[in-house]
Structure 1
Amino acid sequence: MNGNVEVVVVGGGYGGVTAANSLARRDGVSVTLVNPRPDFVERIRLHQLVTGSDDAVEDFGKVMGGNVRLVVDTATRIDAAERRVSLARGGEVSYDYLVYAVGSGASGPGVPGAAEFAHSVSDLEGAQRLRSTLAATPASAPVTVVGAGPTGLETAAELAEAGRRVTLVCGSVLGPSLHARVRRPVARRLAKVGVTVLEGPRARVTEVTRDGVRLDDGRELSSAVTIWTAGFRVPDLAARSGLRTDTEGRLLTDTTLTSVDDERIVAAGDAGVMPDHPFRMSCQAAVQLGPAAADTILRRIAGKKAAPVRMYFAGQCLSLGRDEGVTQFSYPNDKVNALSISGGLGAGIKEIACRFTLGKLVSGARKARSRGSRGSRGSRGSHGDRTERPRSENRTAPSGTRHSA
C-alpha cells in the first residue's frame, strides 16, 4: 500500500462493525466509524429490552477494535465527488473509501393514525419508548402487535409470556417467511402463552386510533398499546446524496457490493442491494456482508480485482418467549424447508445464535486490537479516548491512494 488509506464506515450495526474490524486489521488502513449512538445495539434482542430480560446494548469498546476511531454523530450527506461525509452536528469527515452500512428501521405504515399512535420495536429508541409506555399501562390492558414476521412473532410471544393480553394481527398468514409445517409449532406456542392470532386476507389494519385498531373486515379491536412491526425501510442518505437506489431506498450495487455510481463506495448490511442477487435483510446477512465489503475495499487498495460476494444461509431462529422457540432451517440459498426444531431446544438454539453473533464481533475486535497494539495507529488508547465529536476537516489524500481499480 502506498501511504495511509482512510476508510469511513457509516453505521455501527452488525454490517458496519464487522467491516470496520476487518479493515482495521490491515496495516496502512485507518478506519473511522460514524454512528448516531455511543453504544452498539444488539438489534436481535430489542424485543427482550421491551420486557426487561435484556438491555440489548453493548459497549463499542467490547465489539470494535481499539484502533477504530468512533465519531458519535449522524451522516447527513455523502459528497462522492469530494469524498467527504457531512455530519449533523457540523463538520465533516473525508475518506478514500466509504462503507455504506446505515442499516434499516421500521417502515412508514401508510395507515391512518399509525405514525401517531403506534409504537415500533425496530430501533433502540423505539423499544425504550415502548417499554416506558408499557410500564405505565396496566398489565390487563389489551396490546395489539401488527405484523407476523420474525419481529412481530417474537414481540407478541415475549409480551404474552410476561403476562400481557396480546392480539397478533397477521395481515395474511402467520409467519409468512416460514415453511407451512413450521408455522404449526409457532401457532401452538402462541396459543400456549395466550396470544390471540388474527389472520386471513381481511385481517389487515386500516386505521390506528389512540385506543384501538380497525381492520379491513370492519372489526374494531380495543388496544391500549399498539405495536407496528410490519415492514422495514432504510434511511434515505444514499438517495439524498444523489446515489442510485431501488424503490425501497437501498443503495444499488454490483455483486462486489460496490455502488453502481462510485467504486469508492461499498455497501454492507440491509442498506444495500444487489438487484440480480437479492438477499434477506437480516443480521445473518449483515455479518457476512461486512467482511465482504472490507475485502472488496482491501482488494482495490492492493490493485486487485474485487471478487463477487457469495452468501450462505442456515435458517431463521425465533424466540417465542424465554422458554420456547423455533428454528426454521433453510437451504444455503435461504429457501426454507420443512425441517425445524421447536420447544425449549429451539429457544436454546436462538440464545446460542445471539451469543455466537456477539462473540464473532468480540473476536473481530480482538484481532483488530492486536494489529493496533503493534503501533500501526500510533497512540490510540481506550474506547473513551477514541470516541469523539467530529471536527471540520479539509484533508488531501496521501499520494497514491486515489487510484482507479
Structure 2
Amino acid sequence: MTAQRTHVVVIGGGYAGVMAANRLMSRDGLRVTLVNPRPEFVERIRLHQFVTGSDDAVVDYADVVGEGIALIVDSVTRIDAPTRRVELASGGSIDYDYLIYAVGSTGAAPTVPGAAEFAHPISEYEHGAPLRTAVTAAAADAPIVVVGAGPTGLETAAELAEEGRRVTLVCGSVLGPYLSTRGRRAAAKRMTKLGVDVIDGPGATVTEVLADAVVLADGRRVASAVTIWTAGFGVPDLAVRSGLSTDAIGRLLTDETLASVDDPRIVAAGDAAAPSDLPLRMSCQAAIPLGAQAANTVLSRIAGTTPKPINQAFTGQCISLGRSAGLIQIAHLDDRVMPLYIGGRTAASVKEAVCKGTISFLSREARKPGSYFWLKGGKRQQKLAAQPVSS
C-alpha cells in the first residue's frame, strides 16, 4: 500500500503564499494545495498603475507557481482546526496535515460617514476596474481627491496627476508619515511639480465624504468628482471567524516561528501574521521572506527538527511618484528611517526594478525550490525584550 503524502494547504496566493507554496516543494513526498479566490496572481504594488492603464497588475500563476502545486480557485470561509479541514465558499472542503495562513491584507474598513458609499478603495484588484471607470468617466478637469498620504496615496495621486488629472491629496496630519524629514520634503516637491494640491496639518482629516466633496475636520469642503480612499490597512477576518487567536485588527497570533499560538500545525505568513504580537510592517518586502520562513517551519516540523525563529531585515521603502520619478527612503535594518533617500528618475528605475524583482524571486523559487534567500538582522530580539510584560 502506498503511504499517504503529507498534505500542506496554503490559503492565499499573494506574495507570501506563493513563496511558501513554492518553497515547500523543496521536500519530496509533499502534496501542496494553494487556495486563492482569483485565477491570476495580483501585483498589489502595481494597482495604482492599473487605474491609469500603465500596467494590468496581474501575472499568470503558471509563471510564479511551481510544477506540482495544485491551485484551487476558491475562497476559504472557515478553518476547522480540530478536524484539520478548511471549508470553501463553493461548498466543498479540504483536509490538511499542515496549514499556511497567508490571506494578506486589505484596506481598513472606513468608518467615516459617507466613505463606504461615495469613496473608491484601491486595496484589492477588484477595486481597480470600477475606479478606472470612474476616473475615465470624469471630465478631464474634474477634481479628484485622494485620501491618505501613505505609499498608496502618494503613488495614486502622482500617477493620476502625471496623466494630467487635477488631484488633491488629503494627508491627515502629515504627508508620508513613514518618511524622513528630507524624504518628506522631496515627496512634497514632486507633488508640487505635478500640480497636486497637498492638504496636511491640523484639521486635515476627513470627517465626511459626500457625492461631490469631502469635508475636513476644520470645516473645509473640498470638491471631488472622484474620491479615492487609501487610508489604513486591515486584514480578512477568517482567523476570527475560525475561533483562532488574533491581535486587535485580526492578524493571526503566532510564536516567533510563525506557528499559531492555538495550533502548531497552523503557520502564518505575510500581512496577516502577528508573531509575538509584534507584527512586521505590512509590505511585500516583509511578506516574501515571511512566506519562505513559514514554509521552513512546516518543513522542520515534518522532519522532526526544531523550527527557527524568524530573522529578517528591512532596507527602506520604495515609492513611485509617477512613471518618471520616485522616492527610495533608506532605513536601518530594523526599519527605522535614515535621513538618506534617493529621488528622481533614478528612484523610478529602482522602484521598477524592485517590482520586477518580486516576480523574479517567486519565479526562481518555483523553478528551484529552496533557492530564495533574504536579508537578515533587524534587532528583532531587542524589540521583543523591550515589549511590556503582559499581566
Secondary structure at 1:170 match in 2: strand
Shifted more, 276-285 versus 157-166: the winner is 276-285
Conservation of the 8 A alpha-carbon contact between 1:205 and 1:215 = yes
Structure 2 residue aligned with 1:8: 9
1:31-110 mapped onto 2 (5 Å cutoff): 31-110=32-111
Q: Distance in 1 between matches of 2:344 and 2:94?
A: 49
- Percent sequence identity is 61
Given the alignment of the two structures, is residue 268 of structure 1 paired with residue 269 of structure 2, yes or no?
A: yes
Shifted more, 132-141 versus 272-281: the winner is 272-281
1:277 Cα shift? 3.8
Secondary structure at 2:9 match in 1: strand
Secondary structure at 1:252 match in 2: strand
Structure 1 residue aligned with 2:188: 187
Conservation of the 8 A alpha-carbon contact between 2:212 and 2:224 = yes
Q: Distance in 1 between matches of 2:130 and 2:85?
A: 34
What do the CA deviations read for 1:19-65 (whole angstroms, capped 9, x no partner)?
00000221011100000000000010000000000000000000101
Secondary structure at 2:270 match in 1: coil
Runs of 4+ aligned residues of structure 1 deviating over 6 Å after TM superposition are none
Q: Distance in 1 between matches of 2:71 and 2:113?
A: 39
1:276 Cα shift? 5.1
What do the CA deviations read for 1:186-233 (whole angstroms, capped 9, x no partner)?
111011011000001210000001111000000001100000000010
1:368 Cα shift? 4.6
Structure 1 residue aligned with 2:288: 287
Q: Taking structure 2 as the reference length, what is the TM-score of the superposition? A: 0.93
Structure 2 residue aligned with 1:325: 326
1:241-252 mapped onto 2 (5 Å cutoff): 241-252=242-253
Conservation of the 8 A alpha-carbon contact between 1:98 and 1:264 = yes
The letter of the residue matching 1:346 is A
Given the alignment of the two structures, is residue 137 of structure 1 paired with residue 145 of structure 2, yes or no?
A: no
Structure 2 residue aligned with 1:376: none
Conservation of the 8 A alpha-carbon contact between 1:325 and 1:346 = yes
The letter of the residue matching 1:226 is T
1:333-372 mapped onto 2 (5 Å cutoff): 333-368=334-369
Structure 2 residue aligned with 1:20: 21
Structure 1 residue aligned with 2:255: 254
Q: Distance in 2 between matches of 1:349 and 1:213?
A: 35
1:212-231 mapped onto 2 (5 Å cutoff): 212-231=213-232
Conservation of the 8 A alpha-carbon contact between 1:66 and 1:369 = no
- Which segments of 5 or more consecutive residues in structure 2 lack a partner in the other structure? 372-391
Q: Distance in 2 between matches of 1:275 and 1:164?
A: 44
Cα RMSD of the aligned pairs, angstroms, is 1.2
Q: Distance in 1 between matches of 2:333 and 2:369?
A: 29
Aligned residue-pair number = 369
Q: Distance in 2 between matches of 1:363 and 1:324?
A: 29
The answer to which structure, 1 or 2, has the higher relative contact order (CA under 8 A, 6+ apart) is 1
1:66 Cα shift? 2.0
Given the alignment of the two structures, is residue 169 of structure 1 paired with residue 170 of structure 2, yes or no?
A: yes
Q: Distance in 1 between matches of 2:348 and 2:173?
A: 25
What do the CA deviations read for 1:86-109 (whole angstroms, capped 9, x no partner)?
000111011000000000111111
- Which segments of 5 or more consecutive residues in structure 1 lack a partner in the other structure? 371-405
1:369 Cα shift? 12
Q: Taking structure 1 as the reference length, what is the TM-score of the superposition? A: 0.90
Shifted more, 269-278 versus 156-165: the winner is 269-278
